[in-house]
């Protein structure tokens, strides 16, 4: 269970505070580098790709040799997820991710989504895996699918708190302020002492103060 990505939290907060709801998705998809802002050096991108490629190749072969294996597909989805997440984390000493690193994540999110899609087709019903499926769908640029998958999890596992947290972000990213507030509130109710409870409460406050009316 990947749950909730730290860099997504950062992007969401920055996007909302500077541009409002409409700018959230653009803020994380197209980070603007400046001459004075350190970014992930190209060498780091290469190193990260080398670090993950071997393992992904092995997992891809395992999934191909046993295409009906739920575990193999989940492991492959997780590997691509971790790879993309690592690329999306600023290098030590950097304040943001390089445009090269961010661009490299696109195909990885799609590969992760494809693997999770196969996994949930083989064995649906795991809220953790399906929430991860929703997350990678969102990062692949398909907010509609992310919301649909997330809402499906809330119906089958209404007390799975992490899906509500992510739905709060998905709804906000698509301008559905009232639904975003409700999702964040549901998360806080289910997990009031969770590590992301303070973040959710901050977003509830910010969304309610937004000029975009619920």
Q: What is the pLDDT of residues 30-47, one digit of tens each?
A: 232 223 334 455 558 889
For residue 52, give the 3-state DSSP assignment: helix
CA-CA distance, 109 to 138, in Å (whole number)? 9
Whether the predicted pLDDT of 141 surpasses 90:
yes
Domain parsing of the chain, residue ranges? 39-123, 125-214
Instruction: Say whether 125-214 and 39-123 share the same fold.
Output: yes
According to CATH, the topology of domain 125-214 is 1.25.40
pLDDT of residue 4: 55
pLDDT of residue 160: 97
DSSP category for residue 210: S
CA-CA distance, 78 to 6, in Å (whole number)? 16
What CATH number does domain 39-123 carry, 1.25.40, 3.30.70, 1.20.1050, 1.10.8? Answer: 1.25.40
This prediction has a pTM of 0.81
Question: Considering the chain, what is the average pLDDT of its residues?
Answer: 82
Q: What is the pLDDT of residues 142-177, one digit of tens each?
A: 999 999 999 999 999 999 999 999 999 999 999 999
CA-CA distance, 157 to 87, in Å (whole number)? 31
């Amino acid at each position: 269970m990947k749950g909730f990505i730290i860099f997504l939290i950062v992007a969401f907060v920055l996007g909302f505070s500077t541009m409002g709801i409409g700018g959230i998705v653009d803020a994380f998809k197209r980070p603007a580098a400046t001459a004075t802002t350190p970014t992930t050096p190209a060498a780091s991108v290469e190193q990260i790709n080398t670090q993950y490629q071997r393992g992904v190749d092995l997992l891809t072969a395992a999934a191909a040799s046993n295409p009906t294996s739920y575990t193999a597909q989940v492991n492959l989805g997780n590997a691509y997820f971790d790879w993309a997440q690592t690329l999306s984390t600023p290098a030590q000493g950097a304040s943001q991710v390089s445009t090269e690193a961010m661009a490299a994540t696109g195909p990885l999110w799609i590969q992760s989504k494809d693997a999770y899609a196969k996994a949930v087709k083989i064995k649906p019903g795991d809220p953790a895996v399906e929430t991860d499926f929703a997350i990678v769908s969102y990062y692949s640029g398909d907010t509609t699918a992310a919301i649909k998958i997330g809402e499906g999890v809330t119906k089958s596992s209404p007390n799975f708190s992490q899906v509500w947290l992510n739905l709060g972000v998905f709804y906000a990213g698509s301008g559905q302020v009232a639904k975003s507030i409700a999702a964040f509130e549901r998360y806080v109710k289910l997990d009031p002492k969770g590590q992301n409870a303070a973040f959710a409460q901050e977003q509830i406050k910010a969304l309610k103060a937004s000029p975009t009316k619920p």
